[in-house]
Amino acid sequence: MRTKQTVLMLCLLAAALPVAAFDLGNIDWKKAAETVQKVQKANADINEEQEIGLGEGVASNLLGAAPLLDNAEVQRYVNRIGRWLTLQTERPNLPWLFGVLDDDDVNAFATPGGNVFITKGLLARMHSEAELAGVLAHEISHVLRKHHLQAIKKGAQAGLLSDLANDVIKQQGADPRLSKLVSAGTEVYARGLDKNDEYEADRMGVVIAARGGYDPYGLPAMLQTLQALNPNDSSLALMFKTHPALGDRLERLDQLMSSAFARLEGQPDLAARFATELGARK
Amino acid sequence: MSRLFLFCVLLGFASAPWAADFARTIRVTELKAKPYSDAQTLESLAPRSRVEVLKRQSGWTQVKTAASTGWVKMLSLQLETAAQNKRGDSGLGALFNVASTGRSGSTVTTGVRGLSEEQLKNAKPDAQALQAAKRNAVSPQEARQFAAEGKLQAQSVGYLNGVQP
């Protein structure tokens, strides 16, 4: 079946070549075959349903690494903020889900399809709802721009992804190819994204938080707090390894925000609600 | 017991988590009388000036110098590294039982749950936990209601610098 497709594509490719190239002896068949492979790979586009399925697999893995914090009030609070923020974006209808992981590491994660997790260790270092909103908005931006999905695609074995795109892999059940892709996907979180993806999520995050009516300086305030932590603390190790230097991130935000956000500086940070909601924990 | 605990947490907030923290300016920085750009300039601070941090208000931080108290752009400051995470802990740390002592030097044990690089690579899926997490998801209506309770008002703000949705 695949061979048939390849032959067909080679024929189409040949037909597309300039007339002079119809002397078959002149065609570089190796190069043509490579081109076909590239085209096939590029066509292996994942639809939204598959993005969600893959993202749930990765989310399930992350929850295998660190459990959910056992506190429904805190989980619900974070979900309310997060869901409100997603309503200000271009993908409001994804099955957005937010969760606090019961782990002292300082970190946050987003998986394709709209699953966002932050650690208890990060939450404990925040001072206001605007800071929490800023961090969630950064993670939401990764989902909007499909940063992790692209990274997974880039790293995936050729074939695996086109199988998924062609719906060969069943979403449910223990298909070894899907679990392979999911575990490859989970490794992206150990490796980190491209620096530019992180900068982009920062500059989108402050905008999304501002659209939600929050003080837009929540995210930079959080980053500034992290900058003042002891960099040798092991709870920061993975976050530092997988993200650009905090000084660089803050400098870029400073340049972008200094004039554009002056009119939004009066927006609330809801520090009091943050204290009450998290203080309500028994 | 829990009431006393809540009181302590709130007290922690009220007593300004920024108190007795210091920062240095990262560039020439104007100290303003009020937290906005066209307010009166009290002093011009040289780069690397050490100031005491009082509080933050949006993009501005209130600081104390030897001569005066005023406001500087928040992002003109770099906070000093806090000893033993003191600065970074908002007071919620105790609430969540986050160890305040550094964990530097701890060894990674493969197979034990956690979010280190090695542990992530070896993570086993927990589908039940995902189902449990989904029970906390909220509807757009509930999210809007929650925003209204906090008097949050949606704003129209365009993405910055080359981001195209």
Å from A37 to nearest chain B CA? 29
Which of helix, strand or coil describes residue B32? strand
Which of helix, strand or coil describes residue A258? helix
Residues in chain A within 8 Å Cβ distance of B129? 60, 63-64, 67-68
What are the backbone angles phi and psi of residue A262, rounded to the nearest 5°? -55, -40
**pLDDT at residue A158 tops 80:** no
Å from A175 to nearest chain B CA? 14
The residues with which B153 forms a beta bridge, in sequence order, are: none
**pLDDT at residue A25 tops 60:** no
Looking at residue B15, its pLDDT comes to 40
Contact B109/A at CB under 8 A: no
Q: Do residues A80 and A205 lie in contact, with contact meaning Cβ atoms separated by under 8 Å?
A: no
Candidates B35, B36, B120; nearest CB to A65: B120
Query: Other C-beta atoms within 10 Å of A187: how many?
Result: 18
Candidates B93, B125, B147; nearest CB to A84: B147
What integer best gives the mean pLDDT of chain A? 84
Statement: the pTM of the whole predicted model exceeds 0.90: no
B103–A234 C-beta distance less than 8 A:
yes
Rounded distance, CA A117 to CA A111, Å? 9
A127–B90 C-beta distance less than 8 A:
yes
Quick one: how far is CA B154 from the chain centroid?
Answer: 22
Looking at residue B75, its pLDDT comes to 96
> Closest residue of B to A59, CA-based?
B130
User: Please, which residues have CB within 8 angstroms of residue B35's CB and are 6 or more apart in sequence?
Assistant: A265, B57, B58, B59, B60, B62, B71
Residues in chain B within 8 Å Cβ distance of A248? none
Mean pLDDT along residues B2-28: 60
% of chain A at pLDDT higher than 90: 63
What are the backbone angles phi and psi of residue B12, rounded to the nearest 5°? -55, -40
Query: What digits encode the pLDDT tens for the residues A212-266?
Result: 999 999 999 999 999 999 888 889 999 999 999 999 999 999 999 988 898 999 9
Closest CA to A60 of B110, B135, B132, B139: B132
Looking at residue A180, its pLDDT comes to 78
Query: What digits encode the pLDDT tens for the residues A170-183?
Result: 555 556 777 778 88
Mean pLDDT along residues A28-35: 60
Q: Hey, of A73, A187, A206, A230, which one would you mutate to test binding to chain B, going by the most B CBs within 10 A of its CB? A: A230
**pLDDT at residue A154 tops 90:** no
Which of A170 and A119 is assigned the larger pLDDT?
A: A119
Candidates B95, B102, B160; nearest CB to A230: B102
B160–A120 C-beta distance less than 8 A:
no
For chains A and B, what is the number of CB pairs under 8 angstroms? 283
Mean pLDDT along residues B109-136: 85
Q: Give the HSE-up count for residue A93: Cα atoms under 13 Å, Cβ half-sphere.
A: 2
B104–A104 C-beta distance less than 8 A:
no
